[in-house]
Amino acid sequence: MTERRFLITGGLGFIGAWTLYHLARQGERAVCFDVGANSGRLDMLLPKDQQSSIQFVQGDITSKAQVDAALENVTHIIHLGALQVPSCKANPILGSAVNVTGTINLFEAARERGIQHIAYASSIAVYGRADEYPYELLPDDAPRIPHTLYGAYKICNEETARVYFEDHGITSTGLRPFTVYGVGRDQGLTSEPTKAMLAAAKGEHYSIPFGGKMQFQWGSDVARQFIQAALQPLDGAFVFNFNTVPVEVAEVADIIMRIVPEIRIDVATNKLPFPTGFTGDGIVRHFSEVFETPLEEGIRQTIAHFRTASAV
Ligand SMILES: NC(=O)c1ccc[n+]([C@@H]2O[C@H](COP(=O)([O-])OP(=O)(O)OC[C@H]3O[C@@H](n4cnc5c(N)ncnc54)[C@H](O)[C@@H]3O)[C@@H](O)[C@H]2O)c1
């Protein structure tokens, strides 16, 4: 039997690092494919001497040839490499090259090599503003009305996946995270709650510039769900939201202050224009395991991790 080998695109990013961390701990072999070379996030989670099961390939997903080479002996794919909202807005052509063409390069290279399944990251950015829906919690099939190019590109990824199933029978599972927090989350607007946890670990006060209710997912859980999605192909091209219970940002601040009573976390009153959350139970229905660490426990572990000398 062929030995399992996972390709993680964007492996040096936040969720990618958590994915490599869990794969290494589970004794799996992985290829980390990333255009960057800074392994700082991964090193915070997994000491270098525990990274021997990971092959590092510095490569650009916009190059079909480089993607193809990285797929040598790969059996499972988790596609996380992407440019985020501000980068796509600042440079739409590069954004589409990485997020759209890059994804097509991967599907095409997988097809050519006979790899039958891909797990990949979409985003709740495919949806519109909260005030565009008649309900507070959205079902998985709520209309997608993106207001960013990033969201538009993610829809293109979802449709690409659907057509690759129709045309070639390649199955796929897309997951749409909301606000993911944890060690390694250091960029993007919704990284603010994690930055508050880092400040608390350093004994500093912090102000989160938005409030309101949203869904929080711990990077560790999201990574494990991606691994599950790669290991357990479903018969079709599926995309799922996480249905963790929406929580007020102020509640996150309260949890942080309970863990570190000597610091103060302020929370602004304005709400981000995203829907509050999602009801879809697709993940629960389709997967044998669903990873959902209670919020307080995830925050506690994040602060404890940030407190270690290597992270602060
Ligand atoms: N973090 C979140 O809250 C969140 C929410 C929704 C969706 N997502 C999606 O999950 C995935 C992972 O998110 P993240 O938070 O880890 O992002 P991240 O920005 O931390 O990591 C993305 C990685 O992709 C790499 N990359 C960029 N361009 C590349 C290219 N041309 N070739 C190869 N690699 C390239 C970057 O170097 C980076 O290491 C992304 O697709 C993102 O859109 C994340």
Per domain, the residue ranges of the chain are 5-177+219-243+275-292
The b-or-e profile of 166-180 (16+ CB within 10 A means b, else e) is eeeebbbbbbbbbbb
Question: What local confidence, expressed as pLDDT, does residue 309 receive?
Answer: 58
Angle at 296 between CA 295 and CA 300, to 5 degrees: 120
Residue 83 Cβ inside 6 Å of ligand 1? The answer reads yes
Residue 225 Cβ inside 6 Å of ligand 1? The answer reads no
What is the residue type of 200? A
CATH superfamily of 5-177+219-243+275-292: NAD(P)-binding Rossmann-like Domain (3.40.50.720)
Percent of the chain with pLDDT over 70: 98
To the nearest whole number, what is the mean pLDDT of the chain? Answer: 95
* Gap between the Cα atoms of 280 and 285, Å rounded: 10
Residue 157 Cβ inside 6 Å of ligand 1? The answer reads no
The number of CA neighbours under 13 Å toward the Cβ of 133 is 22
Distance 179 CA to ligand 1 centre (A): 13
pLDDT digits (tens, 9 = 90+) for 55-89: 999 999 999 999 999 999 999 999 999 999 999 99
Query: What is the model's pTM?
Result: 0.97
Question: What local confidence, expressed as pLDDT, does residue 1 receive?
Answer: 53
Distance 236 CA to ligand 1 centre (A): 24
Question: What local confidence, expressed as pLDDT, does residue 63 receive?
Answer: 98
Residue 246 has pLDDT above 90, yes or no: yes
Transcribe 48-63 into DSSP letters.
Answer: GGG-TTEEEEE--TT-
pLDDT digits (tens, 9 = 90+) for 77-125: 999 999 999 999 999 999 999 999 999 999 999 999 999 999 999 999 9
Residue 101 Cβ inside 6 Å of ligand 1? The answer reads no
DSSP E strand stretches across the chain? 5-9, 29-34, 54-58, 76-79, 117-121, 137-138, 171-176, 179-181, 206-208, 213-214, 216-218, 237-241, 247-248, 265-267, 277-278
Pocket residue to mutate for ligand 1, from 43, 56, 84, most atoms within 8 A of Cβ: 84
Query: Do residues 281 and 243 lie in contact, with contact meaning Cβ atoms separated by under 8 Å?
Result: yes
Question: What local confidence, expressed as pLDDT, does residue 126 receive?
Answer: 97
Burial of residue 18 (CB within 10 Å: 0-12, 13-18, 19+) is buried
